[in-house]
Amino acid sequence: MIFRIPEYYRKFRCIADKCRDNCCIGWEIDIDDETADFYRTVKGEFGERLKDSINEGSFILTEDERCPFLSRSGLCDIFTSLGEEHLCQICTDHPRFFEWFGAVKEGGTGMCCEEAARLILSEDMVLTEEVVPDEECDECDEVLYDLLFEARNAVFGILKERPLAEAVSCILGFAEELQIRMDSGEFSLPEDIVCIAPEVPDIPSVIGFYSELEPIDPQWIPFISRLNDKNEGHCPLPGHEIMLKRVAVYFIYRYFMKGVFDGEILSRVKLAVLSTWFIGFIWRKTGSYGDDAAWLAKNYSKEIEYCQENIDALADASYTMPCFSSERLAGMFYE
């Protein structure tokens, strides 16, 4: 099996108590069967604590939604008492993500972690491959996989070679044409890349839609509402362009190939474009660069990527709401 990852994947290390957020707060933490079986064998006081802190395959969160094994110093008591090898699978993997396409496994680090976001923003994505033992997974349509793999590489090339606003118009046009071809049963790449002509965006409707999504942090909706009240322009600042291209590449890498399973490409490209714009919008309104930019990108990712209802709502709205038309999305990158 081929395992494909960005080079920075290997560089990721949890910064534990130095993290300004914490992935052990506010999330339901499921325990895989193998780890649950081990926890049942732990004896003594710590074993009793494990028994009392688990219900129906998940840790019982405290009243302030903390994992019961998260110490006040920000460290994990299971890690310090039993060792890293006895963390449950989700805690071992997070914020890493994986997707299987037959004989290919792709992995990466999710932007919902501030250290992962810092890595994603700090260097261009360079993909590497290695051969690893086969893992049990479903087969996929190899013809469709090859088509989308080639298409994704084309999108990466556009983002690398063209200015951001032009690149966005081009990848939206490319995705529109590719989706039409796939829907009609024609599995071939568009011969020419025709950029979408930008139209005047409807920023209030975009912000309004985001304000109705399910928040993870109760401060998220008031935060984006305050940003919208500011009078500065809406398009990304030139100084943010390199980082925003890396954001776009991250979203394309993570979501584009999922089209192998459902034939849906356009809504995922729109997700990448919209997320790139929204993160740039936040940076512009707050004047953020460096670590602050990574922190804010992390907040966006946590709110949007890690709530399936929000991802699904954006996918549906990309076809039904005029403010999410390809032309208006392209226009969001121009004053």
| 148 & 263 share domain | yes
Distance in angstroms (rounded) separating the CA atoms of residues 274 and 206? 9
| 81 & 188 share domain | no
The answer as to whether 204 is a domain residue is: yes
What is the per-residue pLDDT for 165?
A: 97
Contacts of 2 (CB under 8 A, 6+ apart): 103, 104, 105, 129, 130, 131, 132
| 62 & 184 share domain | no
The answer as to whether 1 is a domain residue is: no
Give the strand pairing for 127-131 and 2-6.
Answer: antiparallel
What is the per-residue pLDDT for 195?
A: 92
Phi, psi angle pair for 324, to nearest 5°? -105, 20
The answer as to whether 118 is a domain residue is: no
Which residues does the chain have with pLDDT short of 70?
none
Residue with tokens 């009240």: 229
What is the per-residue pLDDT for 20?
A: 78
| 189 & 269 share domain | yes
Distance in angstroms (rounded) separating the CA atoms of residues 125 and 152? 13
The answer as to whether 117 is a domain residue is: no
- Number of domains within the chain: 2
| CB-CB contact of 250 with 273 (8 Å) | no
The answer as to whether 134 is a domain residue is: no
| 171 & 257 share domain | yes
| 169 & 67 share domain | no
| 87 & 229 share domain | no
Give the strand pairing for 104-109 and 2-6.
Answer: parallel
| 189 & 263 share domain | yes
| 176 & 63 share domain | no
Q: Which two tokens stand for residue 145?
A: 């996989």
Angle in degrees, CA 313, 98, 145, rounded to 5: 80
| 180 & 284 share domain | yes
**Domain limits for position 87:** 24-93
What is the per-residue pLDDT for 71?
A: 85
Q: Nearest Cα to 103, choosing from 133, 83, 72, 79?
A: 133
Distance in angstroms (rounded) separating the CA atoms of residues 263 and 203? 29
| 173 & 309 share domain | yes
The answer as to whether 136 is a domain residue is: no
What is the per-residue pLDDT for 191?
A: 85
Distance in angstroms (rounded) separating the CA atoms of residues 192 and 178? 11
What is the per-residue pLDDT for 90?
A: 87
Predicted TM-score (pTM) of this structure: 0.92
Residue 200 to residues 277, 281, 334: CA-CA distances in angstroms? 15, 16, 9
| 31 & 152 share domain | no
Residue 318's Cβ-count burial label (10 Å; 0-12, 13-18, 19+) is buried
Residue 198 to residues 115, 154, 168, 325, 334: CA-CA distances in angstroms? 35, 21, 10, 10, 8
The answer as to whether 4 is a domain residue is: no
The answer as to whether 123 is a domain residue is: no
What is the per-residue pLDDT for 103?
A: 92
